[in-house]
A and B are shown apart, each in its own frame.
Chain A
Amino acid sequence: MEISGSAGVKAPPAAVSQVLADPARLQRSLPGCRQLEPDGNGYRIEISIGVAAVRGTYQGTIEVLRHEPGRQFDFRLMLEAPRGFVEATVATRLDESAQGTELRYTAESELGGPLAALGQRVAAGVATMLVRQFCDGLGREAQGLLQG
């Protein structure tokens, strides 16, 4: 499944990149993220989602594929939960905009297990919602950083 879209972040691209490179701030930006620890070229994470058929606590990794501060943040996401798994390769572009940053993303993802059988229909919608919440979080953290 391919998902793509864009969302606004109320902070400039350079600040957004700083948040993305800071485990504590990144964790606070991610909705439902209970744990985020550096691990090799990325992070180990635990994240809770409370929406419909994709509800559950997911554990897994974020592997950073490419990070060009202020411009680009590509990563591979692998999450597992009792109800299935999510794997996604996500390409993110950061562009300056009137309000701060326009974050554009494209993700090639795969769902597995009951999650795929039941969650397929809502997955794209949930992903869009989570991205918006993440961008709000990024904005908040970046503002904090700037005011810091």
Chain B
Amino acid sequence: MPEAIGVAQRRLEGGDKVSGRTAYVADVRVPNALHAELVSSPYAHARVVSIDRTAAEAMPGVVAVLTADEIGSLGLLAKGEVFYAGQPVAVVVADDRRLAADAAQVVRVRYERLPAVVDPVAALREDAPAVLPAELRSQRADAGAHGADAAQHAASQRANVCGEAHFARGDVEQGLRLADVVVEARYRIPALYQGYLEPHGTVAVPEGDRLTVYTTTQGQFAVREEVCQATGLPEHRVKVVGMQVGGGFGAKFVKLEPLCAALALRLRQPVRLVLSRSGDFLTSRPGNFAEIGVRLGARRDGTLTALAADLLLDAGAQEDGTVGIAAMLIGSTYRVPHLLVDGYEVLTHKTPSGAYRAPGAPQAYYALESAMDELARKLGQDPFELRLRSACQQGDPRANGAPWPRIGLVETLEAARNHPFWRERSRQADEGYGVAAGGWPGGTEPAAAACRINGDGSITVQVGSVDITGTNTVFAQMAAQVFGVRADAVAVSAADTDAAPYSGSSGGSKITFTVGNAVLQAAQDARQQVLEMAAQELEASASDLDMAEGRVFVRGAPSRAVSVADLARSTTAFGGSAAPLVGRGRVAIKRASPGFAVHVARVRVDRRTGEVQPIGYLAVQDVGRALNPMAVAGQIRGGVSQSLGRALGEAMRWGDSGQLLTGSFLDYAVPRAADVPPIEVELVEVPAEEGPFGAKGVGEPPAVPGAAAIANAVADATGVRVRDLPLRPETVLAALAGETS
């Protein structure tokens, strides 16, 4: 019987993607479609005094110029007041894309500039002016869609605090007094653009009393819910078609869809809204800026005595939910008797923050793992030794006191320590190695799936999840394993919200874990139906039957067999006597599958230029069970590459008055292929109790430890610690020259 699980399988959709045949939302062609263009505020904070649309409306081909006064804010449009530079204040709709862009240029908006609160530290102060009026507080937050454990929240009196997390255990001051060595440091991590290839885009098509929305999203059901909330339509009258996604990384939940839907309904015509790259930058939902202070104490032998951490995350001009995740993780990774974590998230007049692959975790672990490295250096201890002494295991308390389920942090640390990349390390001049761990709590959400046996015996799996990482390929492998066939004998239909069973959004490292369980259940259900049909045919008990390569046979007597195709044909024939074969899976898994990764970076630092060159990399990760090792390794390499950008070059910057200064790939430097060193991947398999075949979420952990691993390697190479990311040459050079960062 062919094994389908644990076998490297090329991604089902990969061929179309690399050969340019994949249709993305910008490729959707709908007859009579209108084109929408946004008119954006150049000011970070201003009152909209007037909007003169006469010149735009007079242009032939312009159908409408609309503002929040007519169609509402729809999560995007300013209504009377703008809160970030780039916030749309009006939308022009015309019968041609270029015409819409030209018309948007002649919409005259008069603004009264208001003072902008740009610096998150200033925004936190008790006397800071409120960034948002009270009626705009408590909106949706993308990081919440990741489903990570909620933090303990407390209401703050400060005007701009929009999220808090506080965790305490023991007496942290006492714990620090018990320490022989204390590391005290502050770390800053900039806001980051997710850097996906495909900018946001949506096409909305009204048809009778229904609306169809084609969009690039990680979660089509989430889009449907918000479109319905915005338009008042019931969910069965809105169909969302989640297109192939050209990269999301947390940025693509819901953005343009409510606006585009409202325009289509109002104008009774299809409307297309596809952003340019600069439009995408201006309205992006970047990963949060964070400033994290750490005090970490240990005894001479490396036993941790206390950890105090204060976190400040910048939410931009909309409430976010990331600080809870960051605070939870920073206080949950190592056993420490005295713990105090205080996290705040503040509003500022900047583009609202969103989710970026493991929201909050790279920030938390950059601080925690840099501090652990500083501690190891002060103690003169091996970095693995120090971590293994206190690394959390099953049953150890998390920051909120709840015990960890079975996790693989210790196994992952040990695998990294024993790997030849570390064990046989050799250092030339100005080279160094850095170690860092990181984790992600994982997410859960109810999910359903169907598995149909077609008339010819082939298998179709139906799901409603959006495949951003190769999950459909894994679903095919799961069904193939159940039926004893090769994965290419299974088709996976990722249907729209009309046709597909429910699935949560592809975020939080949960699709294989949740939808995968539903697929497994559905395939097993369909298999049982086939076996019961065969039992009648073969005059045997179903429990005595087995199935492989399209045949059902009596165990021990393989010549007594019937083909699945013959059985299935009778379920789809005119006058046929058997009911169609349709398996059903529905799950609501309650416990997430936390995943940990340990990275080791090797860098070379050019002392004349400050340039940091990664020259080798090891990524070790507990994946529970690698259902498709090729896809898992690909995920890990992608996460490492993003971490290199985070560590060495990427940063969203704003000027003092809230102007975005990095609005294109000219000024926002993502790593290119030549910047990425060879990456060795080692998989650790500590099975997740509730995961399909033991699998756990693998998407987010590889994006977590990288920045700290690189910074620790730079410290190892130079003896100099740079605590503010990114480690650009000028920063490193200044640090080498003795100026502290």
Contacts and interface: CB of A to CB of B under 8 A. Distances in A.
B41 A113 contact: yes
Contact of B42 (A113, A118, A120): A113
A116 B666 contact: no
B112 interface: no
B731 interface: no
A13 to B, nearest CB: 35
Most-contacted residue by chain A among B42, B85, B657, B660 (CB, 10 A): B42
B195 to A, nearest CB: 16
Interface residues of B, number: 24
Interface in B640-655: 655
Given A85-B42, A112-B43, A117 B105 contact: no
B104 A116 contact: no
Contact of A112 (B106, B278, B659): B659
Contact of B659 (A80, A83, A111, A121): A111
Interface string A116-144: 11101100000000000000000000000
**Chain A contact residues: over half helix, strand or loop, or mixed?**
mixed
A116 B663 contact: yes
Contact of B106 (A82, A84, A85, A121): A82
A114 B667 contact: no
B40 interface: yes
B666 A117 contact: no
A115 interface: yes
Contacts, number: 58
Interface in A86-110: 110
Nearest to A81: B105
Given A115-B42, A116-B85, A110 B666 contact: no
Interface string A54-86: 001000000000000000000000001011110
Contacts of A83: 105
Contacts of B660: 116-117
Nearest to A82: B105
A139 to B, nearest CB: 34
A32 B661 CA distance: 26
B50 interface: no
Given A110-B657, A112-B85, A117 B106 contact: no
Interface string B383-394: 000000000000
A115 to B, nearest CB: 7
B450 interface: no
A113 to B, nearest CB: 3
A120 B41 contact: no
A118 B659 CA distance: 11
B660 to A, nearest CB: 5
B278 A118 contact: yes
B662 interface: yes
B40 A113 contact: yes
Contacts of B104: 82
Contacts of B659: 110-113, 116-117
A83 B372 CA distance: 47
| Size bracket of the A interface | 10 to 19
B655 A114 contact: no
Given A82-B105, A83-B105, A84-B42, A112 B657 contact: yes
Given A82-B106, A83-B105, A85-B42, A117 B655 contact: no
B657 A114 contact: no
B340 interface: no
A110 B43 CA distance: 11
A114 B666 contact: no
Given A82-B104, A84-B42, A112-B43, A117 B661 contact: yes
B86 to A, nearest CB: 8
B253 interface: no
Interface string A26-68: 0000000000000000000000000000001000000000000
Contacts of B664: 117-118
Contacts of B666: 118, 121
B483 interface: no
A114 B663 contact: yes
B281 interface: yes
B77 interface: no
Contacts of A111: 659
B655 A121 contact: no
A115 B663 CA distance: 9
A114 B662 CA distance: 10
A121 B278 CA distance: 15
Interface in B654-710: 655, 657, 659-664, 666-667
A114 B282 CA distance: 8
A82 B659 CA distance: 15
Contact of B40 (A85, A110, A114, A118): A114
Contacts of A110: 655, 657, 659
Contacts of A84: 42
Nearest to A57: B105
A68 B246 CA distance: 60
Contacts of B107: 82
Given A85-B42, A113-B42, A114-B40, A120 B85 contact: no
A118 B41 CA distance: 15
Contact of A116 (B39, B106, B655): B655
Nearest to B110: A80
Contacts of A56: 105
B657 A117 contact: no
B661 A116 contact: yes
30 contacts: A80-B42, A82-B39, A82-B105, A82-B107, A84-B42, A111-B659, A112-B42, A112-B43, A112-B85, A112-B657, A113-B41, A113-B42, A113-B85, A113-B659, A114-B40, A114-B42, A114-B278, A114-B282, A115-B42, A116-B660, A117-B278, A117-B281, A117-B659, A117-B660, A117-B661, A117-B664, A118-B278, A120-B667, A121-B666, A121-B667
Which 7 residue pairs of A and B lie closest in terms of their CB atoms, listed nearest first?
A117-B663, A113-B42, A82-B105, A116-B659, A112-B42, A84-B42, A117-B660
Interface of B: 39-43, 85-86, 104-107, 278, 281-282, 655, 657, 659-664, 666-667
